[in-house]
Structure 1
């Protein structure tokens, strides 16, 4: 009967019940649409839940609830949120084979390191829950780099076995204990701020890494508080008529109410069914957990409202910008483009963001190249010398890999640039991979950027009209200088890029980075530097 009702509901336009609700200001900023519940039900299949105590439950009655009906891949006899999810699907008439792989306090990276043989099996659906504070910004004690690495690795692992698997992220919750421990303001304001950071991290991972969607359990907690159903501060007692979403033992883990709400949100997101159709009487998960019919009905409604909210719009992707104009000082003949006749300095770069003169050049080291560096006048002593500072009169041919140190920390407004040379007879730009490095030239994080040749200043083969400058090298290899030397003309172009282009969401997470590494078989860098955008 429930299943028939769900199918009838699929043809209806469902509205979020909002009467009497103040609304969460963070949630009201969401703009992207999400699919309606009831349109495209998923009623069966295998599903793996990966997580820690926020998945298996920290205490009874949740910890061992319905453990006989699901498979514990670790043999720990856990039921938890997956056990509740299983029972909700049974109540709806669905047939899911549910497996839990949960380890207390574990991170997703830890699961990847130790449980790959389980997670790498063939699953129809996979749900990933990260350690509760790891997605937070670094300044709040999180490790977003590790969060993104763990989610990416497990996603790839699961999809390698079943490319059609649906991959979900289980968004966890802010809590009274966590907000104070992580440096947020105590009370509801702190809960909202922490949940905003969690939401941003989970949805960034969803959009950037290609997950199916996010089950917004943590946002459900806030909505229950906002509607006066849950007490936001259990430390001073539970307000009559409300329930406590968190464990009374630590105000951080979920109580039975919090776990039930999480399971209801997961039920709605994964199956597409309307949780408001779930019953709560004898034989139901709610009754077995000691949750009243009134509270269960409200939790079902909260799960529905959260799941039918529009998803946060993805942050517009940042893209590298070509330099369209440059100015030079020194031995330069004016014209369009200007012609460098001797040693010159780069004075400014112009992109679609504006014209920038606060240029800082890198110190190069650890560069390898297959050709002798080209130059004007005397040939530089090494490729390192050729590709450092802001001097335009020289360059390193066919860079293999090299480290460029700036000796300074980066900010969200830092823009890097590469000025490179190409023969006038060819096109401008070379494919290059950029990574972040620290002062010891060791890579920082897993951030990288694959620059395309087309992202440099546009200048077609045999054409110098769009080049930043032209130059005739008088020292170096004959293929670049010509015979006699100085008779073959080259042209300069540039590309600019930011930390966001490298995939850095939280600048504090790369606080040790002081330089960049360039890897390319064809790049001829004359100058590598940075500037600060407004």
Structure 2
């Protein structure tokens, strides 16, 4: 969990308490179903409320609204940093905060069709201002999807990481939220999902997983589950899942009648209501729906607005999806020895790994593994003299050499494992490729025999996110002068390599009872392509 700090001066009575006192007796519109008993009434259980200050919305047409009346709504009360005269969903959010008696200065930085990577490259001067207390990031609608569905999840993660780092470099106490977008009738077909409600559910599941994975791994304040709000309105029979054949009686259309992809006035209002509920943690069911309200301004009936308020409340009070494992990429490392400063650092000779960082923190209590039985098919690579054996190449915390294509290998630690143990692998690959290779890890005992059936399958995406041809996010770079020509180059040392890493726990290996693996002393790593430099462990507090 990442602490959230409130930076704007608090009013005499905290805004959330005002909401409870003013609205606590108002349950919901009489036409609505009651809330499920299993859902908590305490909004935002994993983060503190944000009651005001300077908030920036970054995104594209899913943020600024693609059509009137949302596109220009309340534009005089918000700041469009690009000078386009847009109000959009931030304008609706602003009106809702005014209705609730909160003081937010709302700005938006939006560009139609663009990704967060585009914003990072082209709008860093706007986003990277110390004035922002809260920043909300919305990715292009299909980028977070699996690659098999036409997405680019690595691009999403990299851009979110870069923008988070940019914001925090200017204001270390800023709140950062990810704005989860929605599945749509048009998108499910384009991206290869089934038609109808099953397709909406499947696409939203992929979006949800991508946003929460990025939030956990990168350390965001939280995810605003706008897309889940859309799906809930469909599941409750309030929104028509297939507007193309006409809107069923008693239902509304969440998507634009023009393209069945962007948000309609109802969709834009629901988006703003979910943002309002999650960020401020004020119960939206007490928001006014009569003359002068945002709902009335947009032409949304009191009944529909009441349903949308209720859905926003339900979504904002949902517990975050359960975390199935603690497997985490290594996002930073420090080295001692022959290291040249840079971004990332360059290892020029014998160097030692001193610390590594994941979203759980930075750890320097590293214990190295002693390698044996490595059956790599290629000659070990190194800076300077080639190591005598593959086992030597992958022993200890030295980062100046590595075993190419490990094949199989045993890594012994000589220490007992606990629930707080985190294992890690730091591996090397050419700068022209992405870090990470398919790898199987199993628990072994001191005799190198497998312990039970405990194993873990690692994929490329589990390692440090470093795209092919890019070294900016890698842990370090180096140029091998000994080893196979495909790694060292010709002349030797002319090809650049980079380091990346992954950490994981006993739970990731499937261990639920540590005493059941008391005889485990090491790991066996099997891969035809992995080039491990360092295998080790550390303990979390």
Length-normalised TM-score, structure 1: 0.65
Structure 1 residue 503 corresponds to structure 2 residue 451:
no
Distance 1:22 1:268 in 2: 15
Deviation at 1:207, TM superposition (A): 1.1
Question: Relative to structure 1, is the Cα distance of residues 138 and 362 closer, same or farther in structure 2, using a 3 angstrom cutoff?
Answer: farther
Question: Relative to structure 1, is the Cα distance of residues 227 and 400 closer, same or farther in structure 2, using a 3 angstrom cutoff?
Answer: same
Structure 1 residue 87 corresponds to structure 2 residue 109:
no
1:70·1:83 contact (CA, 8 Å) conserved in 2?
yes
Equivalent in the alignment of 1:312: 321
CA-to-aligned-CA distance 1:185-222 (integer Å, 9 cap, x gap): 00000000000000011111111111111111100111
Q: For this pair of structures, how many residues does the alignment match?
A: 407
Structure 2: where are the runs of 5+ without partners? 1-12, 330-372, 415-422, 450-454, 470-485, 488-495, 501-523, 530-541
1:435·1:502 contact (CA, 8 Å) conserved in 2?
no
1:129-278 paired onto structure 2 within 5 Å: 129-278=138-287
1:368 corresponds, among 374, 382, 389, to 382
CA-to-aligned-CA distance 1:395-420 (integer Å, 9 cap, x gap): 899662457348xxxxxxxx975659
TM-align CA RMSD: 4.6
Between Structure 1 and Structure 2, whose CA radius of gyration is higher? 1
1:434 corresponds, among 426, 431, 443, to 426
Structure 1 residue 36 corresponds to structure 2 residue 43:
yes
SS in 1 for 2:400: strand
Equivalent in the alignment of 1:381: none
Distance 1:528 1:228 in 2: 50
Question: Relative to structure 1, is the Cα distance of residues 531 and 83 closer, same or farther in structure 2, using a 3 angstrom cutoff?
Answer: same
1:530 corresponds, among 520, 527, 540, to 527
Distance 1:181 1:400 in 2: 47
CA-to-aligned-CA distance 1:31-76 (integer Å, 9 cap, x gap): 9x89536996432111000000000111111111111100111111
Question: Relative to structure 1, is the Cα distance of residues 466 and 89 closer, same or farther in structure 2, using a 3 angstrom cutoff?
Answer: same
Question: Relative to structure 1, is the Cα distance of residues 207 and 498 closer, same or farther in structure 2, using a 3 angstrom cutoff?
Answer: same
CA-to-aligned-CA distance 1:314-363 (integer Å, 9 cap, x gap): 2311389xxxxxxxxxxxxxxxxxxxxxxxxxxxxxxxxxxxxx997342
Deviation at 1:7, TM superposition (A): 3.8
Distance 1:528 1:280 in 2: 61
SS in 2 for 1:50: strand
Deviation at 1:519, TM superposition (A): 5.5
1:3·1:92 contact (CA, 8 Å) conserved in 2?
no
Question: Relative to structure 1, is the Cα distance of residues 48 and 419 closer, same or farther in structure 2, using a 3 angstrom cutoff?
Answer: same
Distance 2:399 2:319 in 1: 47
Structure 1 residue 74 corresponds to structure 2 residue 82:
yes
Structure 1: where are the runs of 5+ without partners? 321-357, 375-385, 407-414, 423-430, 450-454, 459-464, 470-495, 521-526
SS in 1 for 2:176: strand
Distance 2:186 2:78 in 1: 31
Equivalent in the alignment of 1:110: 118
Question: Relative to structure 1, is the Cα distance of residues 419 and 42 closer, same or farther in structure 2, using a 3 angstrom cutoff?
Answer: closer
Equivalent in the alignment of 2:19: 6
Question: Relative to structure 1, is the Cα distance of residues 76 and 368 closer, same or farther in structure 2, using a 3 angstrom cutoff?
Answer: same
Equivalent in the alignment of 1:101: 109
Equivalent in the alignment of 1:125: 134
Deviation at 1:4, TM superposition (A): 6.9
Question: Relative to structure 1, is the Cα distance of residues 393 and 106 closer, same or farther in structure 2, using a 3 angstrom cutoff?
Answer: closer
1:457·1:466 contact (CA, 8 Å) conserved in 2?
no
Question: Relative to structure 1, is the Cα distance of residues 13 and 318 closer, same or farther in structure 2, using a 3 angstrom cutoff?
Answer: farther
SS in 2 for 1:404: coil
SS in 2 for 1:149: helix
Equivalent in the alignment of 2:537: none
